[in-house]
Structure 1
Amino acid sequence: MAYLVVFLLIIVFLLGFRLFYMGNQIKSLSNQLAYINASKTNKKITIGLLNKNIEKLAEKINKTIEIKLQSEANRIKVENDLRQTIANMSHDLRTPLTSIIGYIQFLKLEGISEEEKAEYLEVAEHRAKSLEILLNDFYELSLIDSLDYELKMEKLNINKVLEQVVLDRYADFMGRNINPSINIPSEDLYIIGEKKSVERIIDNLLSNAIKYAKDAIDISLQVKKDSTILKISNTFTNLTQQDLESVFDRFYMADKTRSGKGTGLGLAITKGLVEKMGGSINCHIEGDMFIIYCKFGLMNS
């Protein structure tokens, strides 16, 4: 009987010690979590007790910390991107506005001829139109980025859409003395998308190719497995790896002088529209060609 009492006392002591130690571990978890929250460190929770329940608790806490850190990193990135966007937009707004104001002041000068007035008005009008394009592009991009922006999706024959947009750009190709290579299959290809958005995507890609092509542009539509691939490529000069990594960023222009070739929003708008329709877009360099791929889901005819 005495042995049984001693054995039970030992068991009670061990259980009491274990509960005491587990309590200390829980207190340690609480203190570590409080320190992490207060110091905004990326330190993780550590434990010194081999207990499955406490290990699972620590694992879930660490997972929550990872999510919080990632969320904080995303927030900082969004804030930095917003600041950069505002800075870029301010730059691009200031340039035409300053020019417009300057030419209006010239018009107020005494002794200027009618020819000079007409010239100043033409320049001011040109600057005002470039300002209007910038504001329209930025407004469209802000709409695309909004969570409640919805596209009117329908079944589209992408062959016909592509053919029409290319035809509409014929004069621009001739203006650059470029005869594009066009490869569109005779078989009709169908995707689910919004017609005006698909037209805008193709037009933006063609506009970019026409602006920056050295001497050649290739346009093709092809099927790979269950996807339709729109491929638009052009010869280039002075593209870098940084350009490839940033080409779809807002206001990014490979022309570092920002010399009036565009707003730097066209490809950002294109990316937003493609992704809104469940597609994907990417780019790479192959030889002397800069290539942009748009991938859409293929529907049966």
Structure 2
Amino acid sequence: MNKNIKLAIWSALVTLVLIALPSIIHYAPQLVGKSFTDQEDFTYRMEQEYDNLSATVLNPVDLKKTEKELTVSLDEITEYRQRYGTLSEQLDNIQQQYAERIADAKLEENETVLLALVKERNTKLGDIQQNFESDSYVEDKIRSEKAKALARQIKETENNRQTNIPIAYDLVNVETGERFTRGDVEVTALFQQEFTEATGYFKANSAVYDNGYSDYSMEQGSMYTDDDVEGISNPPQYFEGTIIIPSDATILGAMAKENDQFIRGKYMVYGLWVLGVLALVALFTVMKFQKEWILQSRLATTYSRWKLDVKVVLLLLTAFILTLYIESAIFNIFNQFRYVSLGTISNMAVSFLLIGVLFTALLAFQAVHLFRLYREPERLMKDWRDSYTVQFAQDSRDTFSNRTVGVQLSLLLIIFFLAGLGLAGVFMQPVLIVVYAFCVLFVALPALFLFVKKTAYLNRILAATNDMAAGHLTQAIPVKGKSQLAKHAANLNNLREGVRVSINEQAKSERLKTELITNVSHDLRTPLTSIITYTDLLKDETLSAEERAKYVGILDQKSQRLKTLIEDLFEVSKMASGNLEMVKQRVDLNQLIQQALAEHAEQFTEQDLHVRTTLPEEPVFAMVDGQKWWRVLDNLFINILKYSLPGTRVYVNLQQVGSTARIVLKNVARYELGDTTDELFERFKRGDASRQTEGSGLGLAIAQSIVELHGGRMEVEVDGDLFKVTIDVVSG
């Protein structure tokens, strides 16, 4: 058998089970062991029959008696009299109504019509005049109108007593003893109800009529409403006796047809229940569901390409439609079976096939595919990311993020305005609730969420801005997303960082300026003082040649130191201003390092420093100014000689790292360096804070400037007492 046919049969069985089994719960209490007279509809109709019997036979309103009891209040008289204005206004109105017609009759010299019109006008004028002169006259007119209206209502009540329930009764008024009978209550009864003191008397309420105030007076054109009057009715009367429906009512007459319809419908529902049970058994035996019916269908490939949210929406829509159909079928199946005909059978079959079977098959098809997808979390997440919902959310976010704040607020206001209009439309047309709910869920609520989120973010930005304005520059503003607010937050962070760096640099510059003046003064004054002192000593003519030579040597040493200091100052000044001239050429850094080491070899030995080199065998070339690069190495080796701990090792390393030549120098410091390496590059900064070593304090600063002028990079690292310098420069 074809898998599509199998799926259709399975869907038909499932639909049959979904209709039949729940209908057992719904119909069993009112059908099993019940007859036509046990139904709620019959009970309701009997209550109407009792009401009609009470109002028209057992406790009717006596029209003649009631007419004498009709009352007219002073307010009713006043309202009737002044309904169309004052006396003068009403008389003038009647005069105007007849003036033209009387004038025409005079022109036509029609004496008969003229006399009739004048008489009719005078009658109405007299009637109006009497209305304002006599209360009793108006009272009689109102009472007459009420009596006519009451008579009409009683007549309508009697006409409405017609019914297709052929009841028979024998009832006796418990107070007056008056007896009312109809038919024979001793025959076999289809329905019978006894009214006794023990079971409860039959309470006959009379009909309640308005006080005749719904009448329309042709003479005055008056209209009275039910709200203006009190009801007219008799006190309730109580009866004992019997009311029956003869059993032959189910054989002849309209009730016989209704009883036959009930019996037919009941047994057809029983048959439906049997079919439902058989269908359930078949579903667990010969027609077990197989996933291959769906997975191997031609629609599976097409369906797999659909977006995840489209699949979910279609699944929910299919389930919703199927649920509505099942619910409707359950609640209507009994009536359809009662009034079964060729037309109803064909309609039931068409709806069963097109809605029940088709939507059951669709629901199974979609559920199987989504269940398979649920068992593959990675694919599920991928499909979710590719869904229209996620894309819409991203597009909505981008729509707001890539617009100015003014445009975003305008869009939000438009959305909220339309949401308000939609709510008003739902109140006027409730059928629009589905469309409105969809718009609220997928447009208004996301817009509200974005509005609240952006408002909160804006408030955080404003609070952070206030902190910045107060001088608190430590807390950065969080940057979230790519919106204009996020860009503004990033700009504020850049501004904050710039201000903070500027303040730190300004403080550092002030500190360096103070240290520069102090250090320059100290470093210049020390050799200058020695020169002045020894110059004064040389003026002594009693000095021996040996002492004079000694003093001259000291003067030469101090002069050379002063010269070196001044030259370093000039060189640093040139480097800072960019006026330093360089002659670049291809230099072998390997050979240059070896020459510098050889130059200071004797000093390393004197300082008890053991140099360990790791140099490549082949040359390492770089385009540098050889003289300036020699100055870099010389300053670094002098720095090592001055500040290394005697008896330790000094490591010199050169290596080729890609297109970069890297020089690494490491030594153990004699003095405690601290944690801040940036200060070692500051001018006049020495490793010994007491400034007891020789030198200008500009060695590292000059070396770093030269390296940077060559496009290289020089870094200093301190790990405890280990001092490490790394220089990178482009090789070639």
Q: TM-score, normalised by structure 1?
A: 0.72
Question: Separation in 1 of the partners of 2:498 and 2:690?
Answer: 40
Question: Separation in 1 of the partners of 2:492 and 2:671?
Answer: 49
1:200 and 2:631 matched? yes
1:237 and 2:670 matched? yes
Which amino acid in 2 is paired with 1:254? G
Query: Which of the numbers 281, 286, 301 marks the counterpart of 2:714?
Result: 281
Instruction: Find the counterpart in structure 2 of residue 139 from structure 1.
Output: 570
Q: Trace 1:44-123 onto structure 2 (pairs within 5 A).
A: 67=498, 70-71=501-502, 73-123=504-554
1:161 and 2:604 matched? no
1:291 and 2:724 matched? yes
Flag the 1:241–1:118 CA change in 2: closer, same or farther, 3 A: same
Query: Which of the numbers 695, 698, 705 marks the counterpart of 1:265?
Result: 698
Which amino acid in 2 is paired with 1:151? M
Following superposition, the deviation at residue 156 of structure 1 comes to 2.6
Partner SS, residue 192 of structure 1: strand
Q: Structure 1, unaligned stretches of length 5 or more?
A: 1-31, 44-51
Instruction: Find the counterpart in structure 2 of residue 127 from structure 1.
Output: 558
Flag the 1:68–1:105 CA change in 2: closer, same or farther, 3 A: same
8 Å CA contact 2:611–2:651 kept in 1: the answer is yes
Partner SS, residue 681 of structure 2: coil
Partner SS, residue 252 of structure 1: coil
Q: Trace 1:23-34 onto structure 2 (pairs within 5 A).
A: none
8 Å CA contact 1:251–1:263 kept in 2: the answer is yes
Which amino acid in 1 is paired with 2:655? Q
Instruction: Find the counterpart in structure 2 of residue 47 from structure 1.
Output: none
Instruction: Find the counterpart in structure 1 of residue 682 from structure 2.
Output: 249
Which amino acid in 2 is paired with 1:172? Q
8 Å CA contact 1:159–1:189 kept in 2: the answer is yes
Flag the 1:259–1:66 CA change in 2: closer, same or farther, 3 A: closer
Farther off after superposition, 266-275 or 238-247: 238-247
Partner SS, residue 292 of structure 1: strand
Instruction: Find the counterpart in structure 2 of residue 221 from structure 1.
Output: 654
Over 4 Å off, 4+ runs: 52-73
Instruction: Find the counterpart in structure 2 of residue 188 from structure 1.
Output: 619
Which amino acid in 1 is paired with 2:619? D
Flag the 1:148–1:255 CA change in 2: closer, same or farther, 3 A: same
Partner SS, residue 294 of structure 1: strand
> What is the RMSD computed on CA atoms of the aligned residues?
3.3
Following superposition, the deviation at residue 288 of structure 1 comes to 5.6
Farther off after superposition, 57-66 or 275-284: 57-66
Question: Separation in 2 of the partners of 1:243 and 1:69?
Answer: 19
Partner SS, residue 622 of structure 2: strand
Farther off after superposition, 85-94 or 156-165: 156-165
Farther off after superposition, 280-289 or 181-190: 280-289
8 Å CA contact 1:233–1:290 kept in 2: the answer is yes
Flag the 1:242–1:156 CA change in 2: closer, same or farther, 3 A: same
8 Å CA contact 1:243–1:254 kept in 2: the answer is no
Following superposition, the deviation at residue 124 of structure 1 comes to 1.7
Which amino acid in 2 is paired with 1:280? R
Farther off after superposition, 174-183 or 213-222: 174-183
Following superposition, the deviation at residue 267 of structure 1 comes to 0.9
Deviations 1:123-153 (A, max 9, x none): 1221111111111111111111113445333
Alignment size in residue pairs: 260
Partner SS, residue 703 of structure 2: helix
Flag the 1:74–1:149 CA change in 2: closer, same or farther, 3 A: farther
Identity of aligned residues (%): 28
8 Å CA contact 2:592–2:630 kept in 1: the answer is yes
Following superposition, the deviation at residue 251 of structure 1 comes to 0.8
8 Å CA contact 2:650–2:668 kept in 1: the answer is yes
Flag the 1:79–1:240 CA change in 2: closer, same or farther, 3 A: closer
Instruction: Find the counterpart in structure 1 of residue 583 from structure 2.
Output: 152
Q: Structure 2, unaligned stretches of length 5 or more?
A: 1-464, 474-482
Question: Separation in 1 of the partners of 2:574 and 2:688?
Answer: 26
Instruction: Find the counterpart in structure 2 of residue 4 from structure 1.
Output: none
Flag the 1:54–1:259 CA change in 2: closer, same or farther, 3 A: closer
8 Å CA contact 1:134–1:263 kept in 2: the answer is yes
Question: Separation in 1 of the partners of 2:522 and 2:540?
Answer: 28
Farther off after superposition, 290-299 or 108-117: 108-117
Higher relative CO (CA 8 A, sep ≥ 6), structure 1 or 2? 1
Question: Separation in 2 of the partners of 1:288 and 1:73?
Answer: 28
Farther off after superposition, 151-160 or 181-190: 151-160
8 Å CA contact 2:664–2:726 kept in 1: the answer is yes
Following superposition, the deviation at residue 263 of structure 1 comes to 1.4
Following superposition, the deviation at residue 221 of structure 1 comes to 0.4
Which amino acid in 2 is paired with 1:146? S
Question: Separation in 2 of the partners of 1:285 and 1:66?
Answer: 27
Farther off after superposition, 286-295 or 99-108: 286-295
Which amino acid in 1 is paired with 2:697? G
Q: TM-score, normalised by structure 2?
A: 0.32
Which amino acid in 1 is paired with 2:682? D
